[in-house]
Amino acid sequence: MIHIQQLQFQYPTGEFRLSIDEFSITKGSKVAVIGPSGSGKTTLLNLIAGIMTPLKGTVSVGDTQVSGLDDRERRDFRITNIGFVFQDFELLDYLNVLDNVLHPFRITGALSLDGEARARATNLAQEMGIGDKLKRNSNDLSHGEKQRVAICRALLPQPKIILADEATGNLDPDNKGLILDLLFQSVEDHGATLLAVTHDYELLRRFDRVVDFKQSQEGMN
C-alpha cells in the first residue's frame, strides 16, 4: 500500500537530512513509528501525504506515485485517499466543530458533501464524545477535544490511508484506548492502512508492527 524507494530529502535551511533506501507497509496493517524528536518521523508522514516532495526517490501509495504528481494532483489525492491527523490539529479558528470536520468536503470537488457525509460526521463526533459540541467554536475546546475533532475530520472521507501524528498525545489515559479503538475500527471497516507516530510506548503492543525510527534511520533501511 505504501512504498518508498531511494528517498532523499532535505529542508532548504538547516542540516536535517532524511535518507530511506526502502520502506514498505502492506495494505490493512497498523504500523507505529517511534524514535527521538527531530529524527524525521513527521517528515515521513508529510512525504507520504504529498505535503512535501523528496529531492530524489519515489513515494507511492497503492498504484499512485505521489511524489510524481503536481501540487493540485497531490492535494486532491490526499483529500480523497489519506486521512491525516496533524499533531497541531490544523483546525480553523473561525469554524465551529461540525464545519471543521466537514471542511475537506468543501475545498475540493473530489468529495461530495451530501446528507450521508453529514450524518457520518455527526455519528463520528458522538463516538468521539464531542457530539454535544458540534456548534461550539474550535477556540473554545480543550486540547483533547481539538484532537478528537481532528480525528473525526481525518476519518470522515473513509480514507484508505490514515496517517496519525501523535493522535493520542493530548488525551487522558481513559480516552487513549477509546480513540485507538476508533482508529483501528476504521482500518478494519474500510480495509485501510494506519501509520501512526507515537511516543506512547504503552500503546505499541496493539500495533502489527513497530518501526524504530532512529536518527540514522537504521530502522527504515
- What is the set of domains in the chain, with CATH numbers? 30-39+69-212 (3.40.50.300)
What are the b/e assignments for 6-36, b being 16+ CB within 10 Å?
A: ebebeeeeeeeebbbeebebeeebbbbbbbe
Residue 170: predicted pLDDT? 66
User: pLDDT tens for residues 143-190?
Assistant: 888 988 998 999 999 999 999 998 877 677 777 877 788 888 888 888
Share of the chain above pLDDT 90, in %: 58
Residue 191: predicted pLDDT? 84
Q: How confident is the model at residue 84 (pLDDT cuts 50, 70, 90)?
A: very high
Q: How confident is the model at residue 216 (pLDDT cuts 50, 70, 90)?
A: very low
The mean per-residue pLDDT over the stretch 54-67 comes to: 95
Q: How confident is the model at residue 83 (pLDDT cuts 50, 70, 90)?
A: very high
The mean per-residue pLDDT over the stretch 38-46 comes to: 91
The mean per-residue pLDDT over the stretch 131-137 comes to: 95
Residue 54: predicted pLDDT? 95
Residue 197: predicted pLDDT? 93
Q: Which three cell numbers stand for residue 24?
A: 514498505
User: pLDDT tens for residues 100-110?
Assistant: 999 999 887 77
The DSSP bridge partners found for residue 18 are 9
pTM for this one? 0.89
Query: Is residue 4 within 8 Å of residue 181, measured between CB atoms?
Result: no
**Residues sharing a CB contact under 8 Å with residue 168, sequence separation 6 or more, in sequence order:** 147, 175, 176, 179, 180, 198, 200, 203
Rounded Cα gap, residues 163 and 172, in angstroms: 21
Using alpha carbons, select from 99, 72, 96, 100 the residue that is nearest to residue 86.
Answer: 100
Q: How confident is the model at residue 215 (pLDDT cuts 50, 70, 90)?
A: very low
The mean per-residue pLDDT over the stretch 14-26 comes to: 90
pLDDT at 74 over 90: yes
**Residues 195, 198, 203, 209: what is their CA dihedral angle, to the nearest 10 degrees?**
40
pLDDT at 23 over 70: yes
The mean per-residue pLDDT over the stretch 55-61 comes to: 96
Indicate the residue type of 4.
Answer: I
Residue 13: predicted pLDDT? 81
Q: How confident is the model at residue 5 (pLDDT cuts 50, 70, 90)?
A: very high
pLDDT at 218 over 50: no
Rounded Cα gap, residues 142 and 160, in angstroms: 29
